[in-house]
Amino acid sequence: MNIDNLIDEVIAREGGYCDHPADRGGPTKFGITQAVARAESYGGDMRDLPRSTAVRIYRALYWDRPAFAFVAEIAPFVAAELFDTGVNMGPGVAAGFLQRTLNALNRNGRDYADLSIDQKVGARTLAALTAFLKLRGPRGETVLLKAMEALQGERYIDLAERRPANEAFLYGWLANRIG
């Protein structure tokens, strides 16, 4: 697992240009919304967004800035999930899922201290992840992923329930983002 492969997979899954009427994000290309592209200094038509710009944005905003690369050194599959969830829901939401899950699995603080759910991967989150995996071994990463994906799936259903227009996307979110 490396970030180049993860980015390639996301771009392949997200596809080319899209401007779905139910998508509040407006025009997208390669899964990059117009708002994100503009914030990252791309001023052109979204139909013309270069793939290289999308790759740069994915690496900077959804891997380097949220410190998911540090997670990859400890738990590569968790890092891949953080990246994918971060792309779809925002890196803070993804990091929050990790923190909530680690808290729920620490046996009431006996294994490591509870984390603040600040939605940022920092030294305490990395230490808790390391402690969890040391205690639980290789199967621990699998269990952690299942718990994170459960939170993600619940959020997708909640989004569709709160905004019926999101039902247009629910099947694809569950099919392509969970498990």
Residue 175: the pLDDT is 87
pLDDT of the residue at 173: 87
Selected residue with higher pLDDT from 60 and 138: 60
In angstroms, the first-to-last Cα distance of the chain is 16
Q: What are phi and psi of 8, to 5 degrees?
A: -60, -40
pLDDT tens sequence across 129-155: 999 999 999 899 999 999 999 999 999
Q: Confidence class of residue 65 from pLDDT cuts 50, 70 and 90?
A: very high
Residue predicted with more confidence, 35 or 21: 35
pLDDT band at 172 (very low <50, low <70, confident <90, very high): confident
Q: Give the pairing of strands 17-18 and 32-33.
A: unpaired
pLDDT for 43 equals 96
Could you tell me the pLDDT band of residue 68, with boundaries at 50, 70 and 90? very high
Selected residue with higher pLDDT from 98 and 1: 98
pTM, to two decimals: 0.92
pLDDT in the model for residue 177: 84
The H-or-E segment that residue 14 falls in is helix 3-14
Residue 15 has pLDDT above 90, yes or no: no
Supply the pLDDT for residue 157: 94
pLDDT score, position 12 = 95
Query: Residue 166 above 90 pLDDT?
Result: no
> DSSP states of 116-168 as a string?
P--S---HHHHHHHHHHHHHH-HHHHHHHHHHHHHHHHHHHHHHHHH-GGGHH
Integer Cα distance of 2 and 50 in angstroms: 22
